[in-house]
Amino acid sequence: MSLAITLASGSASRQGLLAGAGVDAASIRPNVDEDAAKAALRAQGMSVRDQAMKLAELKAVKVSNRTPGLVVGGDQMLSLENEAFDKPADLAAARDHLRKLSGKTHTLETAIVVCENGAPVWRHLARPKLTMRPLSEDFIESYIGRAGDALLSTVGAYQLEGLGAQLFTKIEGDYFSILGLPLLPLLDYFRTRGAIAS
């Protein structure tokens, strides 16, 4: 019998990527206080990439402690010149994000951790780099007006799969990882464990 797969997340994007790839996975919100965890990790001086990995692990461990099979936790943080960006709280914050990212290259620290029986058994970090073109104030206002509150669900205040494609001049890295889940290495791991067909 194949191992059950559970996504320790309420992310519609991550759920959609797994479902689109034909992976039957349950989804359970881990209910981790991410703000408190981030504050503690930042107080320790932890790098942005290590913060993302630690948060992914916290989510996976919490759900795995009460759920059999393989539990996938994920986290994505935006790093610009070693500064961590969180999801914007409102459209004014989204506007500030876009102004700071305009004309620069940032990294999406996209971490996944798979746990089994409450312990990590596999982890992966993808680091796509995205170069945003210089954005005029008029463009930013128009973009925010068109995209609206959907921007508040992403760390960079953009959705590459939609209007966000207009923001960039160059992208280096895996498309799935940009959307929040390094899907291809994860599928590989599932196959090695017999959780999906090989």
Please identify every residue annotated as catalytic.
Answer: 75
Placement of tokens 């969180």 in the chain: 86
Among candidate residues 34, 33, 57, 55, the one with its CA nearest the CA of residue 46: 55
Check: CB of residue 54 under 8 Å from CB of residue 161: no
Distance CA 158, CA 85 (A): 13
Centre a 10 Å sphere on the Cβ of residue 193 and count the other Cβ atoms it contains: 18
Among candidate residues 103, 47, 40, the one with its CA nearest the CA of residue 79: 47
Distance CA 85, CA 41 (A): 14
Distance CA 108, CA 84 (A): 10
